[in-house]
Amino acid sequence: MATASRTPPRFAAPLEAIDEAGKWFWAFLKTELQPYPGRTWVVGRITIAATIVMIIVMTFRIPSGFIAAIFTMFISRENPTATLRSGVRSILAFAIGAAYTIVGVATMVDDPLTHFLWILVTLFISFYLIQIVPDYGSAVAFGFMTTGAIPFWDQNLVNVNDRVENTLWLAFATLLGSGVAIIVEYVFRRVHPTTDLTEGIDHRLVAVETVVRHLAGNLPLDGDVEKLITLYTNAGTSRLRQLILRSRDSPQVIAERNAAVGLLGRLVDLAGSMRLYHVNRPNPLSQSDRERFLRLADEIAELRTGLRLHKPPPMFELPSKSVTTELPFLPAMERTVALIPQALTGAGTLHEYVPAFMEEQTSQPLIVSDAFSNPEYVKFALRGMLSASACYFIYNAVDWRGLSTCMPTCIITALSTMGSSRQKQFLRLGGAIIGGVIFGFGAQIFILPYLDSIAGFTLLFAAVTAIAAWIATASPRLSYLGVQLALAFYLINLQEFTIQTSLAIARDRVFGVLLGLMCMWLIFDRLWVKNALDEMQSLFARNMEMFAELTEQLLVEDRDQAVRRMRQLRDQLNAGFLAVSAQADAVLFEFGRGRRRKLEIRDDFRRWQPTLRTLLLVQLTSSQYRMQRPLKDLPPEVAKAQAAFEKDVAHMMRIMADEVCGKTAAPPPDISASAAKVREVTDKWYSDQGLPLSTAATDVLHLTESIASILAPLHEDIHATFVTTQQAPGLQQPNQLPGLGEARS
């Protein structure tokens, strides 16, 4: 009997895999949807703004109200000033899109061939702008304007005046949504003055400090601390990075904050690992380890105070290497805390002595620096154009005008930084089903027929918006599901100024969304798309190659040319860091053989990324000094030693890039000895001249040694991960994992 009831072996593995996937998915949802400090305020702002927009649309009978509502999600920023600027840019983008549409279509609408060609060109421009315009909201505004107006101008039975009026109403919708969002943002900031970024950083540091102090006292963690550190360990720092990018700070300050936030995320991960290790450790801490934990907690408290008061945090010295510990994560936590002030060096005291050679204007550029040189942007635009034009052709071929919602769907789902195609497909389809079928159809069948006033619809609308906003404020692994959910629901219930109970209209719009998703899946997600881990690997190696080129600019005699190139490389590196982070999130959605090893390599890249960011910032700060006094102005022996050090840094970076890609790398230089040589030669020259070291020379030496102290352990870690792994039997390189080679071919 026991044998008969046992699961056959051929079914055991699939059932275990399904059970494991179900447990992972449930834990994933719990992690993404649990509250964190500040989340309720963000959701409240979005819900109130969207609900006010809905009431205005219904009261004043404003067409195309769904755009006004969805833009309350798009333009919300860290502070009211940034929201105002974002709203103004979106309004200008809609105005430009409206003028472009009216002039372009009006001159070509009479000829079907030129009209179709104009649509193709317009779609290409819309998707191209999404890639080259740094402000995503403005780029999407232009795309929404043009794709939303195309169905108006295809209505041959409607006169030109009505078409122009509908186009202008479409442009007015963004003015309404932006204006309401800005007002709500200002009101909320009066009530809750702490910014989301400041609150997010401070709460993470408090959580780490609390864990460290409990460990120092051999005390068990209480439930709240346990829950908080687990929350931040799983949530990551993606939302903080988004807030930094949306700020109005200079590119240098944005890069510094990004590096510091990356290190903060690493510190939270280490604290979570240290907590788990300590729970399973039977022996109490030694007195030496307790003192190190207390010192670490005090340093974190000083760091919090400095960041809260907007003062440069103090530099922290690491314990001597002769001081040993049995705790595997304690030295890593100490190194991470010591790196955070170095990441902020350029905004601290060094910045007072150095002219900002690397600084550009603080205003955000209209387009990215490589807008017309990067072929990936053209590929992206072609993918988007083919997908949207396929939608246009299909719904016109079957003469089903209600499917026109497919084109705005293509615009809003064209996010190159969302990660792999599987992740995007899951989020898009899930959002359309939940927002369109469950909430959309469900409301029309069970709720809307029984409502006879705007009050009941307001409660329904606010509830769905709050759910969508709560999901949209999760990490990038899930956040886009909330945006897609809101879009599908708004397309059904906020296209006209009435409570919509017709299932035919809802059916058409949901099918339009699904048509857009299907075309994006068949074309956009299949054309020129790489495996996520392969892409992350190549992006990380490319970042190190660019770092090497940036370092070599210090050896270029033409200072103006070098500075211009360094600015370009700095911006490209910051964009590269974000791309690596996006692909790291996407790896979680890739399954199949080798998944466990893929996740291990992903964790390695995530561990190295904050260190590389910090190294970039220290190098940029050093470059400011070097540009102030180039090699030709230095004593010959000092210039020779400094040039040798810069060459060694560039060489080391290229060696690490080769090792990451699985190539045979040259023997690495002794970067620590090279930095020591710079100090030795500089000290000797000043001693021979009978002069004390100048402030600038002391700072340059400090930065040189910092670069060496960061770069040497980074290379050791990368070398041990890839080269040692390759030599070990039974282990594979990332590009040897099953399924990774196909993406390259």
CA distance 388 to 683: 65
In a domain, 366, yes or no: no
Are 460 and 592 contained in the same domain?
Answer: no
- DSSP-derived secondary structure letter, 629: S
- pLDDT at position 741 is 38
CA distance 184 to 51: 11
Average pLDDT, the chain: 79
- pLDDT at position 49 is 93
Are 200 and 161 contained in the same domain?
Answer: no
CA distance 240 to 335: 22
**Which is more confident, 227 or 685?**
685
- pLDDT at position 486 is 92
Q: Which residue has the tokens 């009941």?
A: 456
- pLDDT at position 541 is 92
- pLDDT at position 2 is 45
In a domain, 21, yes or no: no
Are 425 and 335 contained in the same domain?
Answer: no
How many percent of the chain have pLDDT more than 70?
Answer: 80
**Listed range (164-168, 518-522, 613-617) with the worst mean pLDDT:** 613-617
What digits encode the pLDDT tens for the residues 399-417?
A: 888 888 888 888 877 765 4
Q: What is the CATH number for 710?
A: 1.20.58
pLDDT band at 153 (very low <50, low <70, confident <90, very high): confident
- pLDDT at position 542 is 92
Domain count of the fold of the chain: 3
What digits encode the pLDDT tens for the residues 348-402?
A: 333 433 344 444 444 556 787 778 888 888 998 999 999 999 999 999 999 888 8
Are 330 and 469 contained in the same domain?
Answer: no
In a domain, 393, yes or no: yes
In a domain, 109, yes or no: yes
- pLDDT at position 401 is 82
Mean pLDDT within 334-348: 70
Are 538 and 472 contained in the same domain?
Answer: no
Mean pLDDT within 568-597: 76
State both tokens at 629.
């006094």
Q: Of the candidates 175, 242, 191, 194, which has an alpha carbon nearest to the alpha carbon of residue 79?
A: 194
What digits encode the pLDDT tens for the residues 247-280?
A: 656 666 777 777 778 778 778 877 877 776 666 6
Are 265 and 340 contained in the same domain?
Answer: yes
Contact partners, residue 102, CB within 8 Å, separation at least 6: 164, 167
**Which is more confident, 692 or 673?**
673
What digits encode the pLDDT tens for the residues 545-574?
A: 999 999 999 888 887 888 888 888 887 887
Contact partners, residue 311, CB within 8 Å, separation at least 6: 305
Task: Say if residues 624 and 700 touch (Cβ distance below 8 Å).
Answer: no
Task: Say if residues 519 and 410 touch (Cβ distance below 8 Å).
Answer: yes
- pLDDT at position 387 is 93
Are 202 and 189 contained in the same domain?
Answer: no
**Listed range (45-49, 177-181, 631-635) with the worst mean pLDDT:** 631-635
pLDDT band at 328 (very low <50, low <70, confident <90, very high): low
**Which is more confident, 239 or 659?**
659
- pLDDT at position 229 is 75
Task: Say if residues 610 and 265 touch (Cβ distance below 8 Å).
Answer: yes
DSSP output for 7-37: PPHHHHHHHHHHHHHHHHHHHHHHHHHS--T
In a domain, 362, yes or no: no
Are 189 and 204 contained in the same domain?
Answer: no
**Which is more confident, 355 or 744?**
355
In a domain, 22, yes or no: no
Mean pLDDT within 438-461: 89
Instruction: Reply yes or no on whether the pLDDT at 17 is more than 70.
Output: no
Are 174 and 200 contained in the same domain?
Answer: no
What digits encode the pLDDT tens for the residues 100-128?
A: 998 887 777 678 888 889 999 999 999 99
Instruction: Reply yes or no on whether the pLDDT at 81 is more than 90.
Output: no
Q: Which residue segment(s) compose the domain that 449 sits in?
A: 27-193+381-524
Task: Say if residues 231 and 31 touch (Cβ distance below 8 Å).
Answer: yes
- 361-365, 420-424, 521-525, 585-589: range with highest mean pLDDT: 521-525
- pLDDT at position 462 is 96
Task: Say if residues 674 and 714 touch (Cβ distance below 8 Å).
Answer: no
**Listed range (134-138, 302-306, 567-571, 727-731) with the worst mean pLDDT:** 727-731
Angle at 423 between CA 418 and CA 425, to 5 degrees: 105
Are 187 and 201 contained in the same domain?
Answer: no
**Which is more confident, 212 or 253?**
212
Task: Say if residues 329 and 289 touch (Cβ distance below 8 Å).
Answer: no
The domain boundary, picked from 474, 506, 524, lies at: 524
Mean pLDDT within 637-663: 91
In a domain, 122, yes or no: yes
Query: Between the CA of residue 329 and those of 289, 325, 474, what are the distances in Å?
Result: 12, 10, 28
Are 169 and 305 contained in the same domain?
Answer: no
How many percent of the chain have pLDDT more than 90?
Answer: 16
Are 479 and 567 contained in the same domain?
Answer: no
In a domain, 584, yes or no: yes
- pLDDT at position 666 is 83
CA distance 575 to 51: 35
- DSSP-derived secondary structure letter, 367: S
